[in-house]
Amino acid sequence: MREKTKNALVQAIKNHPAVVKAAITGSLARQTDADRFSDLDVLLVARDIKAVSDVRAWFPAQVLICAFHLSNYCTVLLDDFQKIDIAIYSIYDSPSQWVVHDYEVIKNGEDFEVQLANAAKSTREKMAAHLNPDVSLDNILLLLVTASHRNARGELLSAHDLLCMACDMVIALEIRQHGFDSNSDLLDPRRRLERLRPKLAATIHECLFATPGDGIPRLVQYLAKVHRSGLTEAQMKVLDYLLETTD
**Beta carbons of 215 and 163 less than 8 angstroms apart:** yes
**pLDDT 10s digits, 96-146:** 999 998 899 999 877 999 999 999 999 888 888 888 899 999 999 999 999
User: CA-to-CA distance for 89 and 135, rounded, in angstroms?
Assistant: 30
> Which is nearest to 223 in space by CA: 150, 151, 136?
136
- Claim to verify: residue 86 and residue 187 sit in the same structural domain: no
How many domains, the chain? 2
Q: What is the mean pLDDT of residues 182-198?
A: 85
Given 127, 157, 185, the domain boundary residue is: 127
- Claim to verify: residue 171 and residue 195 sit in the same structural domain: yes
Domain ranges, residue 32: 3-127
pLDDT at 32: 66
CATH number assigned to the domain comprising residue 83: 3.30.460.10
| Helix 156-178 vs helix 212-226: crossing angle, to nearest 10 | 20
Inform me whether the pLDDT recorded for 177 exceeds 90.
no
Total residues belonging to the chain: 247
Inform me whether the pLDDT recorded for 93 exceeds 90.
yes
Given 98, 127, 156, the domain boundary residue is: 127
Q: What is the mean pLDDT of residues 208-213?
A: 96
- Claim to verify: residue 86 and residue 178 sit in the same structural domain: no
Give the rounded percent of residues in the chain with a pLDDT score beyond 90.
Answer: 73
Q: What is the mean pLDDT of residues 217-238?
A: 94
Rg (C-alpha) for the chain, rounded Å, is: 22
pLDDT at 82: 94
Q: What is the mean pLDDT of residues 21-41?
A: 83
